[in-house]
Amino acid sequence: MASAPDIEHRVLYRDPHFYASFPSVAMRGDGTTLLAFRRARDHRWLRGEAYRRSEDGFNHVDHLDARSQTVLLALGPDGLPQGEPWTVPPDPQAADQDASLLVLRDGRILLAGFCWYPVPAEDGQALRDLGLGLVGSPLKTGDLYLFWGGYTRHSDDGGRSWSPHRFLPALPGHPDLVPGQRPFHGGAVRGRAVEAPDGTLLLTGYTHHPVTGVYASHLFASADRGESWQHRSVIAFDPEGEAGFCETALHLDAGGGLTAFHRTTGLEDSLATSRSTDLGRSWEPWRRHAVVGHPYDACPLPDGRLLVCRGYRHKPYGIRARVYDPLTQAIDDAPEIIVRDDGPAPDLGYPWAGVLPDGRAMITCYIADSLGVRGIEASLFAPG
């Protein structure tokens, strides 16, 4: 286990009025990078610095907000911000959560995510009586929230304008989100998608299995550049209901093997992987690894190796990574790299990596500063 050599940490975005989290990056053909992240209101500034520094204030975590939105920021070839961030127009009814980017070979940028539909807390019991599965707490989140579905959007002008939300197809066997009116659209989406040599796009989603109640990971495929999607398969699920699989990142290797990297529940925060040799139409049994953390991103390096990074929410909090050749090595045998271990609180991570034109790897994540303000930072280093 070792720290990455000559590592550089830098702040990409932080604002005390906002909770910035869940970044992803897309490396564009002109050498620049598009950074996407979720931005939500952070009311703690109203109560002053003393409250922020208190234990309750510093560790306040809230991932539900009626005004949650996707924000974009352009980074230059050196990975430094260019100009001001801008907001992607939100869904007209729901709050956008997370953002996963992919640049297609023809330059189109795909953005995937999911939404929460806010409802007044006073209507919660009546809506639950109608069969709606609401989450949240009136005391903590103000509103209650209904999962609204996973979606994709695309941009053909470098990220300046975007198509409307296109919600993923209904999941087989899942009850409607709104009985008789709105199906269960795809599941929550977080994790790297891939483009196969024939142009097929592959994207993951996850949700609670209707029988076991634990997370199952699903695969969706598009043959028309993200214009439409079909449910292709269940990637991983535990019929015993002990292990859950979510926030799945994909990697397609040079030999045509598709590997899914799962965040897990019920496995002591261990990595699990699934492998397919037919572009996800069928999957080998999932495998548990001696790698701890969540969630994972799998970034291909120019020399064919794979950089797999993850958040580490165990003391010392931070970001960890491994670099290996997926055709000849197992991730278990790759050396552990401590990218950073200076996180002041466990609410951090969700790393997403890219490679700058100078060959350095750039791992973005969200992390708190000394006042507990969550922002987006980057760690740059030569993979070695």
DSSP states along 174-206? PPPSBTTTB--BS-B--S--EE-TTS-EEEEEE
Domains and CATH numbers, the chain: 12-381 (2.120.10.10)
Which residues of the chain fall below pLDDT 50? none
- pLDDT for 1 equals 61
- pLDDT for 352 equals 98
Q: Whose structure tokens read 């990975």? A: 79
- Gyration radius from the chain CA atoms: 20
- pLDDT for 62 equals 79
User: Residue 32 has which token pair?
Assistant: 């620049």
- pLDDT for 157 equals 94
Give the list of residues 6+ apart from residue 184 with CB closer than 8 angstroms, or none: 149, 170, 171, 174, 175, 176, 177, 207
Provide the whole-model pTM. Answer: 0.97
- pLDDT for 60 equals 85
- pLDDT for 5 equals 67
